[in-house]
């Protein structure tokens, strides 16, 4: 599959920046617009761009379908697991303050970080899985 | 032990959620079934303990994340939702052993793991709606249960299952949207999402804002009525029930619409309790008319339906009419009747749909003419059908009689003989459609398909017999059902006055 030279080189150039921007959105979510959902969509957008430019095979080398399918429940599992961690440490479900022994506010920040990374995993997995499902229709 | 007990409200929802995630992670049929079975029964035990705790010590309040209400999400369990939790969890637990063979027979090989994942997710959503005291949290769980329900329906092998799932998706999304718009209006007026808090703040709403409350009530009522399939908003239900896998149908018929009914009752109680100046909503009259229409129209359609799953689906619409009738009557006996019927109807409908699942497992059809003469071939299964069918009619000695008795008493107190006569008349239509099936099944010469039928294996038979037995048990011993429902109704009415 041959697409325009500009498109191929251009895609290769922007790929790392897309991923970097996704990570920025992910970790800046507490202070500005963004968070796990948006970062997940951007990450999946990177895979989709590769898929459109270089074909489905190239996209699947970056994000194997088995991994993508496992990511969907895995992210929610991270989220729920963080909640259960609060239970195991003797507080209520989803109470993150116990995650830090010294400072409850710090613990809550840590909890939000873990939950958001779970959101990232599930959203990027789901978006990519949807893309695969649509592209593979009729094959 | 006591430390676990304090967290049971959260565990009630979190365990099915975790189970569903693991099932989705593994995606194997055997693991999925084992997880679903273990989780369903654990959830059932938790619901029983919670009910016991509520009976002993009054309402339970659980603060998610340690944030106190009204800022944080509160799980609040009183008599009413402890009762509904018990119903949902136990219907799930009792029907689950049936799943193994039924799902293996009715769902494509590669998708059986997903079935259990979605089943557990649906259970999570339904339990979550019931347990939460937060209006927006209820919306989230409503979406969880709805989305997983669409998948459960679409897993049916019949190609029409896809179309029915899509139809339900459109209607269900409209319903959920209306619900969230209604919650939005309540938030606009009160600034709170906690149901108890909303009720308190509504009392001090200035007069010029009561119109916003009226709009909220309208949106909430239409949105939730779509979910519970009140008469003119019911079109999604018959197809969805007819083409979903049998176990999904039995589970959904027993739980999904019942949880929506619970949500309706809860919101009426919140709004009426909070805003007595808001006074007699004309809503009750609308509800009465629509319920009576459902009781007659849906029963009449059921009489002429030859696909038995569709027949039972229409009968469900009629029975939901009885429940909403009780809500519209809104006196002690009427509300008791509504809550008892919510419980009793769930059990008898789950039993009836499981019987059809068993029949489908043996002969691959649920058309009336294919079932001719199948009675002597599958005697226990078909006897259970007859028992649950008689309960549907409201024969004395079955649970249906208890709920209809309370409804009739409530109806008499509300508007005299007319409503009572309508209840009896619509029950007579049920005699026709149940009687027709019983006659064909037992007294006709066997059809070619029915010749080949044998009794189903114990893992399928036992759930059917337990549920059918329960319809008789709760027809005689009403300590669990009617007494609790009566207390819950008294609690709701006391809050409103």
Ranges of each domain in chain B: 282-497
Residue A79 to residue B386: CA distance in whole angstroms: 47
Contact at CB, A93 and B25, closer than 8 angstroms: no
User: pTM above the 0.90 mark?
Assistant: yes
Judge whether B369 and B450 are in contact, CB under 8 Å.
Answer: no
Residue recorded with tokens 């970097």: A20
DSSP state of A3: -
pLDDT tens across the length of chain B (497 residues): 457 888 999 999 999 999 999 998 888 889 999 999 999 999 999 999 999 999 999 999 999 988 888 889 999 999 999 999 999 999 999 999 999 999 999 998 888 999 999 999 999 999 999 999 999 999 999 999 999 999 999 998 888 999 999 999 999 999 999 999 999 999 998 899 999 999 888 878 777 778 888 888 889 999 999 999 998 899 999 999 999 999 999 999 999 999 999 999 999 888 777 665 555 557 788 889 999 999 999 999 999 999 999 999 999 999 999 999 999 888 899 999 999 999 999 999 999 999 999 999 999 889 999 999 999 999 999 999 999 999 999 999 999 999 999 999 999 998 888 999 999 999 999 999 999 999 999 999 999 888 888 899 999 999 999 999 999 999 998 888 889 999 999 998 888 76
Contact at CB, A80 and B17, closer than 8 angstroms: yes
CB atoms within 10 A of CB A61: 10
Residue B338 to residue B405: CA distance in whole angstroms: 11
Contact at CB, A86 and B18, closer than 8 angstroms: no
DSSP state of B134: B
For the record, the structure tokens of B481 come out as 């059902």
Give the C-alpha distances (Å, rounded to integers) separating B68 from A85, A92, B61, B62, B275.
Answer: 19, 11, 10, 9, 24
Q: How many A-B residue pairs are in contact by the CB < 8 A criterion?
A: 49
Tell me which chain B residue has its CA closest to the CA of residue A68: B25
ipTM reported for the complex, 2 dp: 0.90
For the record, the structure tokens of B148 come out as 């997983």
CB atoms within 10 A of CB B353: 31
Interface test with A, best of B25, B32, B66, B74 (most A CBs within 10 A): B66
Tell me which chain B residue has its CA closest to the CA of residue A91: B66
Contact at CB, B66 and A95, closer than 8 angstroms: yes
Contact at CB, A76 and B21, closer than 8 angstroms: yes
Residue B154, preceding bond cis, omega within 30 degrees?
no
Nearest to B24 among A73, A90, A94 (CB): A73
């Amino acid at each position: 599959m041959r697409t325009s030279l500009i498109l191929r080189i251009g895609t290769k150039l922007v790929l790392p920046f897309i991923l970097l921007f996704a990570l920025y959105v992910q970790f800046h979510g507490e202070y500005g617009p963004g968070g796990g959902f948006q970062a997940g969509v951007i990450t999946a957008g990177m895979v989709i761009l590769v898929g459109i430019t270089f074909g489905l095979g190239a996209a699947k080398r970056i994000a194997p379908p088995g991994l993508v399918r496992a990511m969907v429940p895995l992210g929610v599992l991270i989220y729920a697991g963080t909640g259960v961690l609060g239970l195991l440490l003797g507080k209520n479900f989803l109470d993150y303050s116990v995650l830090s022994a010294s400072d409850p506010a710090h613990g809550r920040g840590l909890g939000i970080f873990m939950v958001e990374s779970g959101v990232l995993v599930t959203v990027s997995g789901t978006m990519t899985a949807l893309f695969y499902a649509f592209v593979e229709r009729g094959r | 032990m006591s430390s676990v007990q304090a967290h049971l409200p959260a565990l009630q929802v979190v365990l099915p959620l975790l189970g569903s995630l693991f099932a989705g992670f593994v995606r194997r049929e055997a693991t999925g079934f084992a997880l679903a079975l273990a989780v369903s029964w654990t959830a059932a035990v938790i619901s029983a303990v919670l009910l016991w705790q509520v009976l002993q010590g009054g309402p339970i309040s659980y603060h998610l994340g340690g944030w106190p209400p009204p800022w944080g999400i509160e799980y609040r369990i009183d008599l009413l939702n402890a009762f509904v939790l018990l119903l949902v969890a136990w219907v799930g637990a009792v029907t689950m052993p049936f799943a193994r063979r039924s799902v293996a027979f009715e769902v494509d090989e590669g998708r059986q793991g997903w079935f259990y994942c979605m089943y557990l997710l649906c259970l999570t959503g339904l339990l979550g709606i019931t347990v939460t005291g937060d209006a927006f949290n209820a919306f989230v769980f409503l979406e969880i249960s709805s989305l997983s329900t669409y998948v459960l329906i679409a897993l049916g092998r019949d190609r029409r299952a896809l179309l029915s799932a899509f139809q339900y998706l459109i209607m269900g999304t409209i319903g959920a949207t209306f619900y969230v718009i209604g919650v939005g209006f309540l938030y606009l007026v009160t600034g709170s999402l906690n149901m108890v808090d909303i009720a308190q703040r509504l009392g001090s709403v200035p007069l010029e804002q009561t119109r916003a409350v009226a709009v909220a009530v309208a949106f909430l009522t239409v949105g939730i009525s779509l979910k519970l399939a009140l008469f003119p908003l019911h079109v999604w239900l018959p197809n969805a029930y007819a083409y979903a896998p049998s176990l999904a149908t039995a589970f959904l018929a027993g739980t999904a619409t019942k949880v929506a009914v619970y949500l309706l009752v809860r919101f009426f109680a919140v709004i009426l309790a909070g805003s007595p100046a808001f006074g007699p909503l004309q809503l009750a009259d609308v509800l009465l008319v629509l319920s009576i229409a459902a009781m007659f129209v849906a029963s009449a359609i059921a009489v002429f339906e030859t696909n038995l799953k569709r027949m039972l689906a229409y009968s469900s619409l009629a029975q939901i009419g009885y429940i909403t009738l009780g809500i519209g009557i809104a006196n002690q006996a009427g509300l008791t009747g509504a809550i008892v019927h919510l419980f009793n109807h769930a059990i008898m409908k789950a039993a009836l749909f499981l019987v059809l699942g068993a029949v489908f497992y043996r002969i691959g059809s649920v058309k009336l003419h294919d079932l001719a003469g199948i009675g002597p071939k599958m005697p226990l299964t078909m006897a259970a059908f007859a028992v649950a069918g008689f309960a549907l009619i409201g024969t004395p000695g079955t649970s249906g009689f208890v709920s209809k008795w309370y409804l009739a008493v409530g109806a008499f107190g509300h508007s005299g003989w007319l409503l009572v006569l309508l209840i009896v008349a619509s029950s007579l239509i049920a005699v026709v459609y149940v009687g027709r099936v019983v006659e064909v099944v037992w007294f006709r010469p066997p059809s070619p398909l029915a010749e080949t039928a044998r009794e189903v294996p114990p893992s399928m038979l036992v759930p059917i017999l337990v549920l059918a037995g329960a319809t008789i048990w709760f027809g005689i011993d009403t300590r669990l059902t009617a007494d609790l429902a009566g207390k819950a109704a008294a609690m709701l009415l006391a809050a409103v006055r």
